[in-house]
Chains A and B, each alone.
Chain A
Amino acid sequence: MDFEFTKDQKMLQEEVRKFADAHIAPDAAEIDQSRDFPWKNIKKTAEMGLLGIIVPEKYGGSGFDYISLAIAIEELSRCCASTGVIVAVNNSLVTYPIVAFGTEEQKQKYLPALCSGEKLGAFGLTEPNAGSDVAGMETTARLEGDHYIINGTKRFITNAGEAGTFIVFASTDRNLKHKGISTFIVERDTPGFSLGKHEDLMGVRATANCELIFEDAKIPKENLLGKEGQGFMIAMNVLDVSRIDIGAQAVGIAQSALDESVKYAKERKAFGQPIGNFEMIQNMLAEMATQICAARFLVYYAGHCKNKGMPRFSRESAMSKYYGATIAVDVARKGVQIHGGYGYTKDYPIERIYRDAKILELYEGTSEIQKIVIARDLLK
């Protein structure tokens, strides 16, 4: 793996960093409290081309690689975890599967609006009774003439409340278990499709996380993504990519915790000197910085594997997510410790960062699932 960024990766990082500092960071505390979806900033990310980072130019995307995607997600997440998740979902969970598995018609029909932010994307895989266990899916789809009829409920779907285009998984044959799962592109105004409860989450609170409810929802036959029964394969393939980006979110969130802590350690005084002079604080800062660097390289390495076109890199991407999430939670915890009582209040960003970090261990496969993925690959 080359440790040097390419010219365009370097420029992308510089430009996204400046953009995020100037436009994303100032709104982070407010949208955390209000849970208002940050449309104004999402439109700006669309103008920069951040909603279709890996989508080819001819479909309205930016045509970048997977390391670049991770770099951009890290920079956004560093300034606002909610915004980072929203953008990551649109990129790796929605545009990516259409790029990878869509027909030419599907690409032309859906990608440009996803890239421009006109119709934001959401990814409906998780169900109330099937989280990390995809094969336990209860949502069904049956073909009737030109349409699939979908019934069931999806839960914890990021962006759902504001999205226009949904990737939805449903079982076309429950007897076949995971081999009976298929993938569909569902538009927001589909008859029989509605939104359920808006989740009140501990962290990443501005992400319009909602339930999806399908009651005899009619989906045109041509909206099947891939073939019938390919859903499980598609889900696994997509999760391999998106876990890189959860890793990138983790690195961004952890980096913000470190930045805040360094700043605080320099300005806060105790016993007549800045607390940064104390070895115990230095010890924590050093651990945090090292953990972040290690996690970042795991993320880049998983991105590199995808760039190389490796057919399977589940282990690498699971490592990126598992380790990133673990250290982000730990780094944020240390960040609060360094801030002392102030870290427990909303006067400092570290309180929000601490809450935001936790979800990293849970969505798109809990840390426990990541470890199973890694271990199975090792034991194969």
Chain B
Amino acid sequence: MDIIACIKRVPQTAEADVKIDSSGKDIVKDRLQFDMNESDTYALEEAILLKEKFSGSLTVISVGTFDAEDTLRIALAKGADNAIRIKAEDFGELDGYKTAQLLKAVIKDLKHDAIFTGCIATDDYYSQVGVTLAELLGMPHASLVTKIEIDGNTVHAYRELEGGLLEHLAMSLPALFTIQTGINEPRYASLIAIRRAAKKEIKVIGKEEINAEDIVSFSSLEKLFTPPVGERAEILSGTLDEIGTRVQGIVKEKGLL
């Protein structure tokens, strides 16, 4: 089985103080840590597990700048066979649609039985690339997948819905899955694998190889901003305990308890 996993390198912003840069369209990234997008690590792990089970090849692809190669190399160390970086710097501003088109331009020439992506990227929260890519490639897809079983040419994909419901979809390969976090336990690369991966070539594809004429964005980013604090809003700060006590107080004050 030949598998493709699409991954993205994103800044870790969950616990950082995020500030907007002078362009107004990006955040200041100087002191942020970067890592593989969270749900992509699960997508990659799912792809590795399938490859280990059915044998075949696993190619990881990322649309990103030079630094994304660090993340691709980690994917190689974890078990991918080949890595491709699509040079983000060659294609200007990217929305989900444009990113999907770039991926399609590369993937259409590769053998693929299954494609895995994360269900959402924690930097832009578009949650579009996987599904759009499947549509562009004209293949079935399932989003927010929490379990996959393969039986011959049929894939059973399970999706978690609101209210504790599970949805079971059947589809035939080739197909694309956007993977939800928690579907598996992503592995860490062993030191030996890291040393070997560090020596591997990463294929780089840019504007020379991809005809960018027809590849356009559907939307453009106007600006990033922090919403003004509303008059009725109270921002709680302090330790968890303190915030908890305060919330309890407010609930009491408002007579909600």
A and B directly contacting (CB within 8 A): yes
Known: A11-B73, A268-B238. A62 touches B195 (CB 8 A): yes
Chain B proximity mask over A12-28: 1 for CB below 8 Å, otherwise 0: 10110011000000000
Q: Which of B204-241 contact A (CB under 8 A)?
A: 237-239
Please name all residues of chain B whose beta carbon is closer than 8 Å to the beta carbon of A19 when the two chains form the complex: 188
Question: A213 → chain B, closest Cβ, in Å?
Answer: 36
Interface residues of A (CB under 8 A from B): 6-8, 10-12, 14-15, 18-19, 47-50, 53, 57, 62-64, 267-269, 274
CB distance from B83 to the nearest CB of A (A): 13
Query: Is B35 interfacial (CB-CB < 8 Å)?
Result: yes
Q: A267-B237, A267-B238 are in contact. Are A11 and B70 (CB under 8 A)?
A: yes
A57 to B74, CA, bound (A): 19
Task: Evaluate contact between A15 and B189: CB separation under 8 angstroms.
Answer: yes
Q: Which of these, B35, B192, B198, contacts A62 with CB under 8 Å?
A: B192
Count chain A CB atoms within 10 A of each CB in B35, B70, B189 and give the residue with the most. B189
Q: For the complex, what is the distance from the CA of A217 to the CA of B42, rounded to whole Å? A: 52
Q: Which residue of B lies closest to A22 (CB)?
A: B188
Chain B residue at smallest Cβ distance from A264? B239
The answer, among B77, B195, B238, for a CB contact under 8 Å with A63, is B195
A-B contact pairs, 17 of them (CB 8 A): A6-B198, A8-B194, A8-B195, A11-B70, A11-B74, A12-B191, A14-B70, A15-B77, A18-B188, A19-B188, A48-B190, A53-B191, A62-B190, A62-B192, A267-B238, A268-B239, A269-B238
Question: In the complex, how many angstroms separate the beta carbon of B162 from the nearest chain A beta carbon?
Answer: 28
| B35 A64 Cβ-Cβ under 8 A | no
Inter-chain contact B194/A63, CB cutoff 8 Å: no
> Complex formed: what's the CA distance from A369 to B194 in Å?
38
Partner of A11 from B198, B237, B238, B239 at Cβ < 8 Å:
B198
Q: Which residues of the partner chain A approach B50 to less than 8 Å between Cβ atoms?
A: none
A14 to B195 alpha-carbon distance, docked (Å): 13
- Give chain B residues whose Cβ lies under 8 Å from the Cβ of A18: 35, 188
Q: Which chain A positions have C-beta within 8 A of B73?
A: 7, 11
B197 contacts the other chain (Cβ, under 8 Å)?
yes
A12 and B188 within 8 A (CB)? no
Residues of B within 8 A of A64 (CB): 191, 195
Tell me the nearest residue of chain A to B195, going by C-beta: A8
The 5 closest A-B pairs by CB, nearest first: A49-B191, A62-B191, A8-B198, A7-B198, A11-B194
Residues of chain A within 8 A (CB-CB) of B188 are 15, 18-19, 48
Enumerate chain A residues within 8 angstroms of B77, measured Cβ to Cβ.
11, 15
List 12 other contacts, CB 8 Å, given A15-B194, A48-B191. Answer: A11-B74, A11-B189, A12-B194, A18-B188, A19-B188, A48-B188, A48-B189, A48-B190, A49-B190, A62-B195, A63-B191, A269-B237
User: In terms of DSSP, what is the predominant structure of the interface of chain B?
Assistant: helix
B35 cross-chain contacts in A, Cβ below 8 A: 14, 18
Using known A-B contacts A8-B198, A267-B237, A268-B238, determine if residue A15 contacts B74 with beta carbons closer than 8 Å.
yes
Task: With CB as the reference atom, state the residue of chain A lying closest to B200.
Answer: A7
- Contact A49 B192, beta carbon cutoff 8 Å: yes
Cα of A49 to Cα of B238 in the assembled complex, Å: 40
Which residues does chain A contribute within 8 Å of B192, judged by CB atoms?
Answer: 49, 57, 62-63
CA distance A57 to B197 in the complex (A): 15
**Which A residue sits closest to B237, measured CB to CB?**
A267
Determine whether the beta carbon of B74 is less than 8 Å from that of A14: yes
A53-B70 Cα distance, complex, nearest whole Å? 21
For the complex formed, measure the closest distance between the CB of B66 and the CB atoms of chain A, giving whole angstroms. Answer: 12
Report B76-123 residues with CB < 8 Å from chain A CB.
77
**Nearest-Cβ distance from residue B237 to partner chain A, whole angstroms:** 7
Contacts of B237 in A (CB 8 A): 267, 269, 274
Chain A residues within 8 Å of B198, by CB: 6-8, 11
Nearest CB on B from A245, distance (A): 16
* Docked pose: A101 CA to B77 CA in angstroms: 31
- Report the separation of the CA atoms of residues A174 and B194 in the bound assembly, to the nearest whole angstrom: 47
**B250 → chain A, closest Cβ, in Å?**
18
Residue in A6, A8, A50, A64 whose Cβ sees the most chain B Cβ within 10 Å: A8
What residues of A have a CB within 8 angstroms of the CB of B197 in the complex?
A: 8, 11
Which of B70, B73, B195, B237: most chain A CB closer than 10 A?
B195
**Chain B residues positioned under 8 Å from A53 (CB to CB):** 191
Report whether B70 and A50 are in contact in the complex, using a CB–CB cutoff of 8 Å: no
In the complex, chain B residues whose CB is within 8 Å of the CB of A47: 190
Distance from A206 Cβ to chain B, minimum over Cβ atoms (Å): 22
Checking B74, B194, B195, B239 against A267 with a beta-carbon cut-off of 8 angstroms, the contacting residue is: B239
Q: What residues of A have a CB within 8 angstroms of the CB of B238 in the complex?
A: 267-269
Q: Whole-angstrom distance between the alpha carbons of A104 and B7 in the complex?
A: 44
Complex-state Cα separation, A49 to B77, whole angstroms: 13
- Residues of chain A with a CB closer than 8 A to B74's CB: 11, 14-15
B178 CB to nearest chain A CB (Å): 22
| Chain A: minimal CB distance from B257 (Å) | 26
- Among B77, B191, B197, B239, find the residue whose CB has the most chain A CB atoms closer than 10 A: B191
A64 CB to closest chain B CB (Å) equals 6
Task: List the B side residues contacting A14 at CB < 8 Å.
Answer: 35, 70, 74
Residues of B within 8 A of A10 (CB): 70
A6 cross-chain contacts in B, Cβ below 8 A: 198
CA distance A18 to B77 in the complex (A): 15
Residues on B with C-beta less than 8 A from A57 are 192
Residues of A within 8 A of B191 (CB): 12, 48-50, 53, 62-64
> Which of A7, A268, A274 has its CB near the most chain B CB atoms (within 10 A)?
A7
Cα distance, A53 to B194, chains bound together (Å)? 12
Q: How far is the CB of B141 from chain A (nearest CB, A)?
A: 29
> Smallest Cβ distance from B45 to chain A, in angstroms?
13
* Residues of chain B with a CB closer than 8 A to A7's CB: 70, 73, 198
Nearest residue (CB) in A for B76 is: A11
| Residue from A18, A53, A64 with most neighbouring chain B CB atoms (10 Å) | A18
